[in-house]
């Protein structure tokens, strides 16, 4: 079984053949993603449900990147949590 790597370790493992500028850009994405995950957890702890979905795809030079938006449901009922656990 493959060991589970966190976001930063995964990003660093994939940067072996990248330029310094590309590596810096990937580190920035990994750091910002970590902050996003922390913000989502704080929002959930504050009583809202958060879903992150792709809103668009940015293309450039044969490469692409997903752009994201949050879907927020304030005051989501506890019943939804119970249903999710049952899945």
Give counts: helices (H), strands (E), the chain: 3, 2
Query: Which residues in 5-87 belong to E strands, given as ranges?
Result: 48-60, 63-74
**Average pLDDT for residues 69-87, to the nearest whole number?**
66
At 2, the pLDDT band (50, 70, 90 cuts) reads: low
What is the model's pLDDT at position 10? 74
Q: What is the pLDDT of residues 21-64, one digit of tens each?
A: 998 998 999 999 999 999 999 999 999 999 999 999 999 999 99
Between 86 and 12, the more confident residue is 12
What is the model's pLDDT at position 14? 76
Distance of CA 53 to CAs 18, 40, 41, 61, Å? Answer: 28, 13, 16, 24
């Amino acid at each position: 079984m493959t060991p589970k790597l966190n976001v930063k370790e995964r990003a660093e493992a994939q940067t072996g053949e990248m330029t310094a500028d590309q590596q810096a850009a990937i580190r920035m994405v990994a750091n910002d993603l970590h902050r996003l995950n922390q913000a989502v957890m704080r929002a959930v702890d504050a009583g809202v449900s958060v879903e992150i979905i792709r809103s668009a795809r940015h293309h450039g030079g044969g490469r692409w990147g997903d752009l994201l938006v949050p879907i927020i449901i304030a005051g989501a009922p506890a019943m939804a949590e119970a249903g999710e656990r049952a899945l």
